[in-house]
Amino acid sequence: MSIDLGGIAKGFTDDEILKVLKKYNITGALINLGGSSIYTYGNKPDGTPWTVGIQHPRKERNQGYLAVIKMPEEALSTSGDYEKYFIQDGKRYCHIISPFTGYPAESGVISDSIIIDKNVPDSNMLADLLTKVTFVMGVDKGMKIINSIPGVSCIAETSDFKIYKSSSWKTPLEDLSTDFKLAN
């Protein structure tokens, strides 16, 4: 067994890349570190916002999206039980460990995505961190925390295929998978 900082290292790296882009006066870029940690900087060359697909938590990578969103300059992080896991005796064990039990998290959340406004410092690393909070704490407690932080919003998908949105989530979910239903 090993423990690594993969849960927030990509967000930290996004933040560092963003500093370099700003230093060299780059006006627009999409920073994508593995699909789970994304930063949209400025707009596309045609002036429109970036389009990003959020991975469907029960389909293989690039085989289906939960939804597609348009992003102005923001950080996006997604965590889920579908990237690194194993199934034993019909039960899924994922790589996100609950600090309360020392075992894989079992909050009913199978995936969640955090969007953080560009004005929040270290937004990418914070987004990576907060996806774990929501994933481990569950929808009710997680959303309470998310709703208390200015510039932060969240959607969480649960094992009963419902999507919960924080009160601050304003980003339209385009091409929403018919596998999921909005809960609120």
Mean pLDDT for the stretch of residues 122-137: 94
The Cα-based distances of 46 to 28, 52, 68, 131, 151 in angstroms read: 10, 16, 19, 31, 26
Q: pTM, whole model, 2 decimals?
A: 0.92
pLDDT at 86 over 80: yes
Poorest-confidence range of 28-32, 70-74, 88-92, 149-153? 88-92
Residue pointed to by tokens 């600090």: 99
Poorest-confidence range of 13-27, 84-98, 123-137? 84-98
177 or 90, which is more confident: 177
pLDDT at 4 over 70: no
Residue 5: pLDDT band (50, 70, 90) is low
Secondary structure tally for the chain: helices H, strands E? 3, 11
Average pLDDT of the chain, as a whole number: 92
Task: Give the pLDDT confidence score for residue 83 in this predicted structure.
Answer: 81
pLDDT at 167 over 70: yes
Residue 10: pLDDT band (50, 70, 90) is confident
Q: Residue 150 has which token pair? A: 């200015």
Q: Is the dihedral of CA 95, 155, 41, 46 positive or negative?
A: positive
> Which domains occur in the chain, in start order?
6-182 (3.10.520.10)
Distance CA 119, CA 149 (A): 13
